[in-house]
Amino acid sequence: MIPISKPLLGEEEQAAVRRVIESGMLAQGPRVAEFERAFAGFIGVNHAIATSNGTTALHAALLAHGVGPGDEVITTPFTFMASVNSILFTGARPVLVDIDDSFNLNPELVEAAITPHTKAIMPVHLYGQPANLGALDQIARRHNLALVEDACQAHGAEFAGRRAGSFGTGCFSFYATKNMTTGEGGMITTDDEGIAQRARMIIAHGMKVRYYHETLGYNYRMTDLAAAIGIEQLKKLPAFNARRAANAAWYDQHLANIPGLITPSVGPDRTHVYHQYTIRITPEYGLSRDALVEQLGKRGIGSAIYYPIPMHRQHSMRAYSVGELACPITEQMADEVLSIPIHPSVTESDRLVIADALISARQ
């Protein structure tokens, strides 16, 4: 069986966790501070704030920017529910704008969706490819809006030589399937001292000084156990990402001439960290996507559809007012996308098996 994702932890993580257990300091302590410093350095920002997961990072980042009831936040309907839920948690209204064929927000449509209520733009760097951060950063500046990047799938990805998560306020996830993991975990990155201070308070019950609560806050803190794993994973991340990129380059070449199968494209000025390698199965392929998933499964190949239902069509969203614009590209991509194994443990023989299955399934 070739799984669609596989966390890679070794002796280093085991030893680091053992040292935390032996220290007796299990909650937020020296390892969290060390992980924050290392991650801030990696992204190229002044501040990083560790959180309990990526969703809480997004929620706290929006709150730190003052997003609340009456505000609108522009984001994409082609994402994981956490992006939109984090907006709903603040009481703000998500405004969903269509994507382009890079699977990311279309900046032109973003600008057209801005109203006097718009407070923030939340691009999602889907599958590990940065959205058009140059254009979105300009739009945010021109309209005086916060830019909150959902970089939960984009650890180490770059736009114009700068890391995703360093343009606006970056939010990362260290869930088990991501490019690096702490089991569950998250991080907020920013150059803005004020945002960093507010985020730090919001994730700790609104306290700066212990038991003096200045604002409503939550317990969204990371543990030293998780941070100890994160420090080791961060050291390995460049090698992990290089293996993902090498697998992707191989697929790009070997899946290029299959009729009806479209390989992912990378926009200008971007480095893609391939959290997912996502192909499109179009009618010309001759076999439905569902039938292909079944064929792959029979041959022991894991695959997955990220994501089959756009956010504006989710049942949970019926209770909320959502700015739902026409999203034809999102609808099309939701019907066509299929992610195949790309993680660092995928070997050359795995790739051959997968490519052969994709070629022969349509015959």
Ligand X SMILES: *Cc1c(COP(=O)(O)O)cnc(C)c1O
For binding to ligand X (CB under 6 A), which residues are involved? 53-55, 79-80, 82-83, 124, 150, 152-153, 173, 175, 186
Phi, psi of 99 (to 5 degrees): -100, 180
Question: CA 141 to CA 137: how far, in whole Å?
Answer: 6
Q: Respond yes or no: is residue 178 known to be catalytic.
A: yes
Nearer to ligand X, 80 or 240 (CB): 80
Nearer to ligand X, 233 or 255 (CB): 233
Buried b (16+ CB within 10 A) or exposed e, 199-211: bbbbbbbeeeeee
Nearer to ligand X, 150 or 336 (CB): 150
Question: What is the strand order of the sheet 158-159 is part of?
Answer: 162-163, 158-159, 270-271
Question: CA 2 to CA 24: how far, in whole Å?
Answer: 39
Nearer to ligand X, 207 or 329 (CB): 329
Nearer to ligand X, 244 or 351 (CB): 244
In whole angstroms, how close is the CB of 42 to ligand X at the nearest point?
18
In whole angstroms, how close is the CB of 166 to ligand X at the nearest point?
18
Question: CA 107 to CA 90: how far, in whole Å?
Answer: 24
Find, among 283, 281, 306, the residue nearest to 357 by Cα.
281
Q: CB count, 10 Å around CB of 24?
A: 7
Question: CA 254 to CA 136: how far, in whole Å?
Answer: 34
In whole angstroms, how close is the CB of 9 to ligand X at the nearest point?
17
Is the bond preceding 277 in cis, omega lying within 30 degrees of 0?
no
In Å, how far from its chain's centre is CA 266?
16
Nearer to ligand X, 295 or 314 (CB): 314
- Tell me the H-state helices in the chain: 11-23, 30-43, 54-64, 81-89, 107-112, 133-142, 193-202, 224-254, 289-298, 328-336, 348-360
- Is there a contact between 48 and 55 (Cβ–Cβ < 8 Å)? no
Nearer to ligand X, 54 or 168 (CB): 54
In whole angstroms, how close is the CB of 184 to ligand X at the nearest point?
6
- Strand pairing class (72-75; 146-150): unpaired
Catalytic member of 119, 178, 208, 298: 178
In whole angstroms, how close is the CB of 228 to ligand X at the nearest point?
18
Residue nearest to ligand X (CB): 54
Question: CA 152 to CA 4: how far, in whole Å?
Answer: 18
In whole angstroms, how close is the CB of 220 to ligand X at the nearest point?
10
In whole angstroms, how close is the CB of 76 to ligand X at the nearest point?
9
Active site residues: 178
